[in-house]
């Protein structure tokens, strides 16, 4: 049964922590939204509740990591990466403490709660911080693999999860490595490079386009930093067009990184960034927001047709 990625994260974390008392969860009044209530009931000595105090959350997590504990700091992405940005920069990244920062309900997962609860800045802000790895798994399979990888990762790391149940796009034991994108399919005409929950929408768009005879590829860029340069450059070499897709601002995220890389390498591939535009965004559910901005499967198919100059692209 498909689940939200953050549910898979919390279930895996509990299973791992049962056998390792050094695994600790620090949270900021988020055990409900982070699906951590079962963890707290079963392992109360391994969960630390900080209340609504994200800066303290990160500072305490860094201190515990410095003492040799395996620490997951869990909080809504919008608050963790804004209120505690200085602590992430100095206490975690600069000090090189291996804290696993976990941003839950990311992107526009909070839907009708509006812009105060959306995290459309986190890739941009955190990419600019040295010594911080950023992961945004696409589905339950990637999430499970990412949690295992995070457990043994030696440096500071940020995991980004959403609230929507996600269909799996790959077999249960698909290879996964931090920094290595997953090629779901190859395309000569267009390749979508997507991250997080947008990979599913890119896959839906690719199905629509293939039915029209378009050779369409999809890459899951689960590691936003460090970016898999080879995967991006190879996609641009074999495809006429590249479209990046992210549940984030069009500025400073996955698309910006890919654009900078392709321009500096002299790529001639046609290119578009799809994400949230630079405006006060509409209020609605995640699905409604995706539809409004053309970020769902049908909307992405339209972007691809226009980029390829196909007939009927004004649909």
Nearest-5° Cα angle at 315, 273 to 243: 20
Which residues, in sequence order, are bridge partners of residue 216? 190
- Domain chopping of the chain, boundaries: 5-160, 182-308
Helix (H, G, I), strand (E, B) or coil at 15: helix
Asked if domains 5-160 and 182-308 share a fold, the reply is: yes
Which residues, in sequence order, are bridge partners of residue 193? 219, 244
Query: What architecture is the 182-308 domain classified under in CATH?
Result: 3-Layer(aba) Sandwich (3.40)
Cα-Cα end-to-end distance for the chain: 35
Per-residue confidence (pLDDT) for residue 312, from 0 to 100: 55
| Burial (0-12, 13-18, 19+ Cβ within 10 Å), 41 | exposed
Residue showing tokens 């105060």:
116
Q: Which one, of 127, 23, 116, lies nearest residue 71 by Cα? A: 23
Alpha helices in 169-212 (DSSP H): 198-210
Q: How far apart are CA 224 and CA 87, in angstroms?
A: 21
**Catalytic sites, residue numbers:** 54
Note down pLDDT in tens along the chain; length 315 residues. Answer: 689 999 999 999 999 999 999 999 999 988 888 889 999 999 999 999 999 999 999 999 999 999 999 999 999 999 999 999 999 999 999 999 999 999 999 999 998 998 899 999 999 999 999 999 999 999 999 999 999 999 999 999 999 999 999 988 877 777 899 999 999 999 999 999 999 999 999 999 999 999 999 999 999 999 999 999 999 999 999 999 999 999 999 999 999 999 999 999 999 999 999 999 999 999 999 999 999 999 999 999 999 999 999 865 444
Mention every residue, 6+ apart, whose C-beta is less than 8 A from residue 93: 129, 130, 131, 132, 156
Per-residue confidence (pLDDT) for residue 313, from 0 to 100: 47
| CATH code for the part of the protein at 5-160 | 3.40.50.970
Could you say which DSSP state residue 282 is in? P
Q: How far apart are CA 265 and CA 101, in angstroms?
A: 33
Q: Which helix (H) or strand (E) holds 279?
A: none
Yes or no: say if 19 and 42 are a contact pair by the CB < 8 Å rule: no
Which residues, in sequence order, are bridge partners of residue 71? 24
As a three-state string, the secondary structure of 142-159 is: HHHHHHHHHHHCCCCEEE
Write the Ramachandran bin of 107: left for phi over 0, alpha for psi from -120 to 50, otherwise beta. Answer: left
């Amino acid at each position: 049964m498909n689940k939200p990625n953050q549910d898979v994260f919390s279930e895996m974390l509990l299973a791992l922590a049962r056998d390792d008392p050094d695994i600790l969860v620090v949270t900021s009044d988020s055990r409900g939204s982070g699906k951590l209530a079962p963890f707290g009931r079963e392992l109360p000595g391994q969960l630390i509740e900080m209340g609504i105090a994200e800066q303290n959350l990160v500072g305490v997590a860094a201190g515990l990591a410095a003492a040799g504990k395996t620490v997951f700091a869990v909080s809504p992405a919008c608050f963790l990466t804004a209120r505690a940005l200085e602590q992430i920069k100095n206490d975690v990244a600069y000090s090189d403490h291996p804290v696993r920062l976990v941003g839950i309900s990311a992107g526009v997962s909070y839907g009708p709660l509006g812009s105060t609860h959306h995290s459309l800045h986190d890739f941009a802000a955190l990419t600019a911080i040295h010594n911080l790895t950023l992961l945004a798994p696409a589905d339950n399979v990637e999430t499970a693999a990412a949690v295992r990888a995070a457990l043994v990762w030696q440096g500071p790391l940020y995991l980004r999860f959403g609230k929507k149940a996600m269909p799996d796009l790959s077999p249960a034991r698909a290879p996964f490595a931090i920094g290595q994108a997953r090629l779901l399919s190859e395309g000569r005409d267009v390749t979508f490079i997507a991250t997080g929950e947008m990979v599913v929408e890119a896959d839906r768009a690719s199905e629509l386009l293939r039915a029209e005879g378009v050779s369409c590829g999809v890459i899951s860029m689960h590691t936003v930093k460090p970016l898999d340069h080879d995967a991006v450059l190879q996609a641009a070499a074999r495809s006429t067009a590249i479209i990046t897709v992210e549940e984030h601002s069009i500025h400073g995220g996955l698309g910006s990184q890919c654009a900078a890389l392709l321009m500096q390498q002299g790529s001639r591939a046609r290119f578009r960034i799809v994400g949230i535009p630079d405006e006060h965004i509409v209020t609605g559910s995640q699905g409604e927001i995706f539809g409004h901005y053309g970020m769902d499967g049908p909307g992405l198919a339209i972007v691809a047709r226009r980029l390829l100059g196909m007939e009927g692209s004004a649909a």
